[in-house]
Amino acid sequence: MTDESLAEGMAAWREKHAAKLATVTERPSLLGAPLDVLYAPTDGEVDAAAYGRDIGLPGEFPYTRGVYPAMYRDRLWQMRLYSGFGDAESTNTRWQFLLAHGNNGVSAAFDLPTQVGMDSDHPEAVPEAGRVGVAVDCAQDFERMFAGLPVEQMGISLNAHSTAPFVLALFLAAMERQGITPGQINGSMTTDVLKDYVARGTWIYPPGAGIRMVCDILEFCSAEMPRFYPLVIRGPDIRDAGADAIQEVAFAFANAVTYLENAQARGLDIDGIATRLSAQFYYYGDFLQEAAKTRAARRIWSRLLRDRFGARKEASWLLRVTASVGGTHFQVHEPETNIVRGTLGCLGAVLGGVQGMLLAGYDEAFDIPTEDTARIALRTQQIVGYESDATAVPDPLGGSWFVEAMTDEIERLVLAKMAEIDEMGGSVVAIESGYMQREIAKSAYNIERREQSGEKPIVAVNIHRGQGEPPELVVHAPDSKVADRQRAQLAALRAGRDEVETQRRLARLRAAGEGTDNLMPIMIDCARADATLGEMVDVLRGVFGEFKEPAL
């Protein structure tokens, strides 16, 4: 078929079916614009040059079809459940359970005091200690949390956010006591602090200090932890705060640009650090478009690293992606239906070719998962992985006119938004001026209105509502004794340690904060002397100050 006859054919088809096409249900796309009813090869015959340039082959630039040549035929993604609650012992028990059921890694959820750098005995920390994650105050907590686990054989992701450098220091000091070196640790960390100002709200210091510490970690880990990916560029927090998929990728990548520019300004070699970065995104129910988003993200990333940052090694160009499934996609009404929503999100991630996945328990809208809901979340991933043919070939959606069109369109819109932020002066300006936060709040309001009006259908919520009230879920009961136990442990720790030595090392951390030395080795030294998370965070607060939220 020639280009002309194809275009004519499409026009004739549209005209012939015009009456029907005018009355179809409108489907908003992930991009905000309504979806067309049909996608076809309007560019005519497949152009081999364009295919090679934009799509290519799996494991090859621009990695649209995946980062590895055989993808899941070689090995499946890392299956993890974001998990942790109470204290080190209760978290250790849950992890033993998950590993026994086939999880090949753990993804540590920390409680809010740990995420904002407060010890469990801080007055504001008490009602939150051990509630949404595990309470961590000192190296000993990590020793107990990982007791008896095959640390060198498993993937470990530490989701500490703003306090990532401190948490890593405590973790490494604990591992050292068990004879494990940093080089033996395989895993990742959510060190991306900029997204905390954008969306997550667990910030501490102003962005400048946050970026410096991210660069410290990048430098430290590139040298000492070859199996560890310390900088996961995070979209999920941005998406779940109400952003659309374009904002999710564009804001996350704009933040990545800031880290890479700062790292280069410090003199770090781009090829030395690029492989330490990976990305994470949310996967909701529009799984074909979420898959397209992942393909577009990889294409953008490879060109960004090669062309803008001058990376020369192939390994620097490819973007490994971890999927988050759950969040605001999961509903409170008829919560067991979230198992199906989780399956759709999982499919989108797998068809998009991700390297890791965190799938939430179906009770996520209520509380942290029980053993049962955690098990079902893992089984969902295993069923998609082992029983379906979504894993049979790399990029099974490649060549779908719809998916290729969405991939191109998402790429175009993300690049436009990134350019907008560049013009503003970069992501720090976009954060300090409140631009990103306002954009997300606006999008969240629009989404809420669309969902409440039924324009965006949600089964059992705004269409086909069931009779009666939603059943009360069986939720995991928070352990109110956690704060007391942590307080007792802290008292014993402070009484038992060499106080003069601990204070001497904390003073060195303060001095290093005022200078330009890499803070990581000094923090690890503090952790070895049983300095607590809160003590280290406070010492640097004295140097860096605190972030002030822009008024919205």
Partner 1 sequence: MSLDATNRTDRRTRVLVAKLGLDGHDRGAKVVAHTLRDAGMEVIYTGLRRTARDVVAMAVDEDVDVIGLSILSGAHLALAQQVLDELAVRGARDEIAVVVGGTISATDDAVLRQMGVAEVFGVRSPLAELAPRVQALVSADR
Tell me if 118 contacts partner 1 by CB under 8 A.
Answer: yes
Tell me if 196 contacts partner 1 by CB under 8 A.
Answer: yes
Q: Which two tokens stand for residue 514?
A: 């005022």
Residues 419-448 that bind partner 1 (CB under 8 A): 440-441, 444-445, 448
Give the C-alpha separation, 288 to 409, whole Å. Answer: 13
Tell me if 530 contacts partner 1 by CB under 8 A.
Answer: no
Residue 266 vs 541, nearer CB to partner 1 = 541
Query: In this structure, which amino acid lies at residue 262?
Result: N
Tell me if 57 contacts partner 1 by CB under 8 A.
Answer: no
Q: Select from 76-84, 115-123, 182-190, 354-362 the region that touches partner 1 (CB under 8 A).
A: 115-123
Residue 294 vs 331, nearer CB to partner 1 = 331
Tell me if 82 contacts partner 1 by CB under 8 A.
Answer: no
List C-alpha distances in Å: 218 to 72, 203, 214, 252, 421: 29, 19, 6, 17, 24
- CA 259, 525, 157, 105 torsion-angle sign: positive
Residue tagged 């709200």 (tokens):
201
Binding residue for partner 1 (CB under 8 A) from 72, 228, 253, 366? 366
Cα Rg of the chain, angstroms? 24
Give the C-alpha separation, 461 to 319, whole Å. Answer: 36
Residue 40 vs 126, nearer CB to partner 1 = 126
Site string for partner 1, 208-247 (x = CB under 8 A): --------------------------------xxx-----
For the chain, helix, strand, coil in percent to 5 are 55, 10, 35
In sequence order, what DSSP letters do the residues of 450-516 get, joined into one string? HHHHTSS--BTTTBSPPSSPPPPP--PPP-TTHHHHHHHHHHHHHHHS-HHHHHHHHHHHHHHHHS-
CB 69 within 8 A of CB 394: yes
Tell me if 131 contacts partner 1 by CB under 8 A.
Answer: yes
Residue 149 vs 444, nearer CB to partner 1 = 444
* # residues contacting partner 1 (CB under 8 A): 41
Residue 33 vs 475, nearer CB to partner 1 = 475
Tell me if 167 contacts partner 1 by CB under 8 A.
Answer: no
Cβ at position 334, least distance to partner 1 in Å? 12
Query: In this structure, which amino acid lies at residue 77?
Result: W
Residue 128 vs 244, nearer CB to partner 1 = 128
Q: Which two tokens stand for residue 423?
A: 């013009």
Residue 13 vs 445, nearer CB to partner 1 = 445
Give the C-alpha separation, 469 to 442, whole Å. Answer: 31
Tell me if 482 contacts partner 1 by CB under 8 A.
Answer: no
Cβ at position 248, least distance to partner 1 in Å? 14
Site string for partner 1, 303-342 (x = CB under 8 A): -------------------------x--xxx---------
The closest alpha carbon to 533, from 92, 169, 11, belongs to: 169
Cβ at position 138, least distance to partner 1 in Å? 19
Residue 449 vs 464, nearer CB to partner 1 = 449
CA 82 to chain centre: 11
Q: Which two tokens stand for residue 297?
A: 């993200």
Q: Which two tokens stand for residue 319?
A: 């973007």
Binding residue for partner 1 (CB under 8 A) from 472, 495, 496, 500? 472
Binding site for partner 1 (CB under 8 A): 112-113, 115-116, 118, 124-125, 127-128, 131-132, 196, 200-203, 240-242, 328, 331-333, 365-367, 440-441, 444-445, 448-449, 452, 461, 469, 472-473, 475, 478, 549, 552
